[in-house]
Amino acid sequence: MRSSITYSPCLTRSFLNPKSLCSQPQFPNIAPISEPPSSDNPNPNAYCPQEIDSESNFPTKPTTKSEVSISAFFLEPKHADVAAEISQNSVLTQAHVINILLSHKSEPRSALKYFKGVEKKRGFVKSVDSFFVLLHILGGFPPTHKAAQNLLNQWVSGDSCPAPGVLVDHLAECSKRFAFGLNPRLFNYLLNSYVRANRIKDAMLCFDRMIESDITPWVPYMNILLTALVRRNLFNEVREVHNKMVLKGISGDCYTVHVMMRAGLKEGEAEKAAEYFIDAKATGVELDAAAYSIAIQAACVRPDWSLASGLLKEMREMGFVPSEGTYTSVIGACVKQGNIVEALRLKDEMLSCGKPMNLVVATSLMKGYCVQGDLNSALDLFNKIGEFGLSPNKVTYSILIEWCCNNGNMEKANELYTQMKDKGIQPSVFNVNSLIRGFLKSRSLENASQLFDEAIKCGIANVITYNNLLSWFCEEGKVNEAQSVWEKMIRNTVVPNVVSHNNMILGHCREGNMDVANSVFLEMVEKGLKPNVITYSVLMNGYFRKGDTERAFDLFDQMVGANIAPTDFTLNTIINGLCKVGRTSEARDRLKNFVDGGFVPICLTYNSIIHGFVKEGAINSALAVYREMHESGVSPNVVTYTSLIDGFCKSNNIDHALKMRNEMKNKGLELDVIGYSTLIDAFCKRRDMESARELFSELSEVGLAPNTVVYNIMISGFRNLNNMEAALDLHKKMINENVPCDLQTYTTLIDGLLKEGRKCT
């Protein structure tokens, strides 16, 4: 319950000199001044602001006019009575001052001059009552509204003053006690003064007490408060103020919508920003171009190109002209979501509206082309941007260099890189890393190494730069070279990360050196690096390849115990590993358990099991898995059919093998060299060299080159039929086509010639 606080020690102080607040002694309450009664609830419309300036328009000090010297003021004949009132009272009581102020109730400027005069009088103690009476007088007349604002601004910006809730209560009490009527203008001025003084917490307290007292905050001042809260990232407070406004029946205006949408965007909640826009439209708020622009920005952040494009269209239909920045954002959103067609349409629309092409749009479109796989169009646009008076920047070059590398066009990538440097644009480590990856992918180790050395010399090489080389060397089985890169990284004080260790573990696993791979793993843990699912999966695969399934499963249990969820790669590694060591039935059982746990098998998964059963001679089990594969909706690939053909051939069931081959052709799949070699070998073993020769010829006709294995099978087949002329012809063809002969080639030929009693020449 609120108490009367007419003259508490906190409220009796100097207001025009804030430094002396709370320095005056307590004075007794005075009797109410006798005034004609007035309504306790005056028409609030009488106090609606005619013009409310923005926060920056409020002066922090009283105007020069209000600082006219008191002596000059007294010389004016029309103020002689005020001068007399002051001079005749050597001791001025609060009651007397308030009575005099009230006598000038209809003359606000005279009341202000009187107050300024008496506060300089020796022995006069200022109080909240007299100050608030003056504020009510000034607030009742438009010409002195600014003076009331200035007084409150000056007072609130002082070192100390009563709590906001106390002031709101006392200001309301004074309005009733002295029959002014409740003037919401003064409360809104007070609220704004707190914001101007950067006293946001007090502004919130003032706002809350106004709401509790049923004093309606005005929308412009609410917007100023909301803006101040957004600037300080006080998003919970922003929503709190806005919700209280809505509950109070204050819907806000278009600028309120601006502020709330910007708050949502700044908070990273684009959905909330969109909701404010939708709600504003539903409640009939008249939205302007800026509101649409912010809503479009929110749609682009999500991103939702369809919504953004729709709002842009709606904006134009309402007669608004979207800005260049708005078009740029929507085009960027379209590109991000892969709709290059809409992005190009909007680019044309932007240009037709008289907006110039800008580099951000051009660069976005280049990226869009690249993502769509149309590098040539991206490069064409790059060559044309000069027509718009644009010059490519680092981002433009970076995108094109990266995508040229991704597409294997290293000549163009290097050309752009050189052009970039020639224009004085310093390449980033991102550019260098893209080029190194590209050169390695195109197997140009020399260029990659040269760029790698340049990056180290320039001091821009980072851990990713080193990892590019480590990964390539380890994938290629060149562990010694990878070790050299590792040592160079340590010398140059670049700290290896988890990826670096994973690469080295992979390299040692590929070599079958599991002891060293495990040492790298332990070293990694000792350094405080946390192994990830790739670390465990690579190690498990290494142990499976060595036949050490027990150690592989120990690692799996260790991984799960560390709360690292296995990926599809991990589960496929387990299935493939079991199949490689002859435990295919167990692999199939585990697959069922994995599927029950949510794992979705892919073609690779089924191929591992089919191949495992074929190796074990269990062709019927392999066929069962093949049928299961179909039932699961997974399409077989070349590897699937090759394994089954191999299985049927090994079980001497050539008819089923050919049936599989026909099924494969009907699905648009072609045999690879391994598939052809399997069928050719089957016909050779059946001594059907005519069919074998047909397949051998077909192999070349479809664009495949027979390898050493295929030639050896054919040579062996003819040798078995004692047709050494045909065998020797194949040998000559091998030499002419630069197919290397191995020990088996020569052993077969020598054996055949010796059996015929011919000399080997």
pLDDT digits (tens, 9 = 90+) for 394-428: 999 999 999 999 999 999 999 999 999 999 999 99
pTM of the model: 0.69
The first and second tokens of residue 478, run together, are: 């060149």
Tokens 């020069």 sit on residue: 64
For the chain, the average pLDDT equals 85
Tokens 């195109």 sit on residue: 442
The pLDDT, as a whole number, for residue 92 is 65
The amino acid present at 588, given as its one-letter code, is: R
Reported confidence tier of residue 200, pLDDT bands at 50, 70, 90: very high
CB 327 within 8 A of CB 364: no
Is residue 72 over pLDDT 60? Answer: no
For the stretch 488-526, pLDDT in tens is 999 999 999 999 999 999 999 999 999 999 999 999 999
Among the candidates 215, 234, 261, a domain finishes at 215
- CATH of residue 719's domain is 1.25.40.10
10 burial (CB, 10 Å; 0-12 / 13-18 / 19+) is: middle
Domain assignment present for 755: yes
Reported confidence tier of residue 159, pLDDT bands at 50, 70, 90: low
Domain assignment present for 3: yes
Domain assignment present for 78: yes
User: What residue spans of 104-217 are helical by DSSP H?
Assistant: 108-119, 128-139, 145-156, 164-177, 184-196, 200-212
Number of domains making up the chain:
2
Is residue 84 over pLDDT 70? Answer: no
Reported confidence tier of residue 98, pLDDT bands at 50, 70, 90: confident
Among the candidates 198, 215, 232, a domain finishes at 215
Domain assignment present for 206: yes
The pLDDT, as a whole number, for residue 538 is 96
Query: What residues contact residue 458 under an 8 Å CB cut-off, 6+ apart?
Result: none
Give CA–CA dist 117/104, Å, rounded. Answer: 14
Range in 6-20, 134-148, 208-222, 484-498 with the lowest mean pLDDT: 6-20
Domain assignment present for 319: no
Host domain of residue 716: 671-761
Provide the 10 A C-beta neighbour count for residue 32. Answer: 12
3-class SS letters over 383-422? HHHHHHCCCCCHHHHHHHHHHHHHCCCHHHHHHHHHHHHH
Reported confidence tier of residue 606, pLDDT bands at 50, 70, 90: very high
Is residue 600 over pLDDT 60? Answer: yes
The pLDDT, as a whole number, for residue 649 is 92
Quote the percentage of the chain above a pLDDT of 70: 87
Give CA–CA dist 293/308, Å, rounded. Answer: 9
Domain assignment present for 761: yes
For the stretch 453-479, pLDDT in tens is 999 998 999 999 999 999 999 999 899
Give CA–CA dist 188/175, Å, rounded. Answer: 15
The pLDDT, as a whole number, for residue 281 is 87
The pLDDT, as a whole number, for residue 550 is 94
Reported confidence tier of residue 340, pLDDT bands at 50, 70, 90: very high
Is residue 15 over pLDDT 50? Answer: no
The first and second tokens of residue 446, run together, are: 């020399």
What is the separation of C-alpha 127 from the centre of its chain, rounded to a whole number of angstroms?
Answer: 56
Phi, psi of 221 (to 5 degrees): -75, -30
Reported confidence tier of residue 285, pLDDT bands at 50, 70, 90: confident
Among the candidates 183, 215, 247, a domain finishes at 215
3-class SS letters over 88-137? CCCCCCHHHHHHHHHHCCCCHHHHHHHHHHHHCCCCCCCCHHHHHHHHHH
Domain assignment present for 301: no
Domain assignment present for 26: yes
CA distances from 130 to 356, 469, 542, 573 (A): 62, 82, 89, 86
CA distances from 272 to 167, 276, 312, 726 (A): 35, 6, 19, 80
Reported confidence tier of residue 188, pLDDT bands at 50, 70, 90: very high
